[in-house]
Structure 1
């Protein structure tokens, strides 16, 4: 089994060079129990569809957009 990634547990509290970007990911299950994944060529591993939240959108809007962009599916949110 190969390691996919290593989590960095250093304390960056007093560091000015830390980059943070709010993002969303979605777990999409199909009727045949298959899961939608996206392959990252850059990182060489699979991940759930998603990405960064634009400054003019909320989490739900970002997830709908990212899923459409990455896997071509339309997300229809359940009513709250």
Structure 2
């Protein structure tokens, strides 16, 4: 997987960071740009914190990137997919959370019928709402977001980068 960006507090809060002074916990995750037959992409609106994100999430024990991707897409978007290729990898260094996150993003297409997402209690409490929009509209939505929290600011930057990379690679 090709590294397309590294994000840290310098870009998010403007605060300079010395990564050598921090011990980070590592989290690996899978995300996707999911297209349907109408050439729309799945995007999740996190209503509590006022931002949009791509469907996907962390790899749990016993999973790999692909198995986590399929589980997360079913949970958050209610879709099964064919993986068409890689978009790229982004590494995040979140100082306030002492988190180093590696996100792999994939280009996928929906197969079968859409089913009701099976959101976690945490996702429901954050007000996750699934939307289907054009790729260009997804970019505009994220560009106009103003996340209320620290994590949301990272998520916006990460997922906006993935969406713009998808446009560059003609997804």
Common fold by TM > 0.5: yes
Name the SS of the counterpart of 2:20 in structure 1: coil
Find out whether 1:35 has 2:36 as its counterpart: no
Higher fraction of strand: 2
CA-atom RMSD, angstroms?
2.2
Partner of 1:60: 66
Find out whether 1:8 has 2:15 as its counterpart: no
Would the aligned equivalents of 1:39 and 1:47 in 2 still touch at CA under 8 Å? yes
The runs of at least 4 aligned residues of structure 1 exceeding 4 Å deviation read none
Q: How many residues align?
A: 72
Report the alpha carbon displacement of residue 69 of structure 1 after superposing the two structures with TM: 0.2
Higher fraction of helix: 2
Q: Which runs of 5+ in 1 are unaligned?
A: 1-5
Q: Larger relative contact order (C-alpha < 8 A, sep ≥ 6)? A: 2
Would the aligned equivalents of 1:68 and 1:75 in 2 still touch at CA under 8 Å? no
